[in-house]
């Protein structure tokens, strides 16, 4: 099994100056993660600095950890104006180049579109992914969409896009679905999943799991034969970011072991 944690999980620790990308690499190695999934904010120092990216890549290589998915914000496809869409597209191109330089195998790029429904922006979103996917594929990088924000949080909209766009994979987040749709989404999308964000929320002081049924999410993926990396993304306001990630890693391993 492969395991990762998106570096966004430690954004408060990063913001406090207590972790940087090199510390993140060391932490992942220390705690048994098998690939690196950085949030692009934690790589921005290298956006226009290939020498910096080479240092990051060397640190990862020295630690024996490959780069998996770079989660990219600010390069989403849809914006209301052509100028903003063009700026985002250039940003997406550059982040794909960054992923290639790091040896990353995936990038997450959102569809975009707050307060709109998918059919209002359909042609622009389809064009965007059909432009980015072959460009990324030529560099050994797979483009993923996440149920993250905008219309693709809706299971029906996500289904339409995944069926329409050849080569588009799903970063399957356990949490980011509208209320009342989690169960149907968890059962519908395992065949499309190329990476997960098993959402690590704050656990209580006794280490109990969240009220919602994360073990079911893990079981459904495992029963479907999911072969991708078991990625974790933490959301914590009142607990140590590192603690909830490690608790979630232990939960994933325990559920999978019980299923074998």
User: Looking only at Cα atoms, what is the longest distance across the chain?
Assistant: 52
Question: Under 8 Å CB-to-CB from 157, ≥6 apart: which residues?
Answer: 117, 118, 151
**Cα 115 from Cα 231, distance rounded (Å):** 28
Sheet with 142-146, strands from edge to edge, namely 3-5, 230-235, 193-201, 169-173, 142-146, 106-109, 69-72
State the pLDDT at residue 202: 57
Give domain limits for the chain. Answer: 3-259
d(CA 189, CA 218): 12
175 against 260, higher pLDDT:
175
Give the pLDDT score at 238. 63
CATH number of the domain located at residue range(s) 3-259 in this protein? 3.20.20.150
- pLDDT by residue (tens digit) across 63-100? 999 999 999 999 999 999 999 999 999 999 999 999 99
- Tell me how far apart the alpha carbons of residues 7 and 232 are, in angstroms, rounded to a whole number: 9
Residue 118 has pLDDT above 50, yes or no: yes
The pTM of the full predicted model, rounded to 2 decimals, is 0.94
The backbone torsions φ and ψ at residue 185, rounded to the nearest 5 degrees and listed phi first, read -65, -45
Place of tokens 């990308």: 21
Residue 115 — pLDDT band, cuts 50, 70, 90? confident
pLDDT tens digits, one per residue of 29-70: 999 999 999 999 999 999 999 999 999 999 999 999 999 999
Q: Please report which confidence band the pLDDT of residue 129 belongs to, taking 50, 70 and 90 as the band edges.
A: very high
């Amino acid at each position: 099994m492969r395991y990762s944690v998106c570096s966004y999980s430690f954004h408060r620790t990063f913001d406090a100056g207590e972790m940087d990308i090199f510390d993140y690499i060391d932490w992942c190695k220390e705690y048994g993660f098998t690939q690196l999934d950085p949030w692009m904010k934690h790589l921005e120092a290298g956006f226009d600095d290939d020498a910096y990216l080479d240092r990051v890549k060397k640190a990862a290589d020295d630690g024996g950890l490959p780069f998996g998915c770079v989660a990219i914000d600010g390069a989403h496809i849809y914006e209301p104006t052509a100028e903003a869409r063009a700026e985002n597209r250039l940003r997406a191109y550059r982040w794909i180049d960054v992923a290639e330089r790091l040896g990353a195998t995936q990038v997450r790029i959102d569809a975009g579109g707050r307060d709109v429904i998918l059919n209002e922006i359909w042609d622009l979103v389809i064009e965007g992914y059909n432009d980015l996917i072959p460009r990324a594929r030529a560099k050994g990088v797979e483009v993923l969409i996440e149920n993250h924000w905008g219309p693709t949080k809706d299971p029906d909209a996500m289904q339409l896009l995944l069926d329409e766009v050849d080569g588009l994979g799903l970063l399957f987040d356990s949490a980011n679905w509208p209320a009342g749709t989690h169960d149907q989404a968890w059962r519908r999308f395992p065949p499309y999943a190329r990476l997960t964000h098993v959402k690590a929320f704050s656990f209580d002081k006794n280490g109990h799991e969240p009220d919602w049924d994360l073990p079911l999410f893990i079981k459904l993926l495992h029963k479907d034969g999911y072969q991708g990396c078991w990625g974790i993304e933490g959301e914590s306001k009142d607990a140590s970011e590192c603690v909830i990630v490690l608790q979630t890693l232990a939960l994933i391993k325990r559920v999978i072991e019980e299923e074998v």
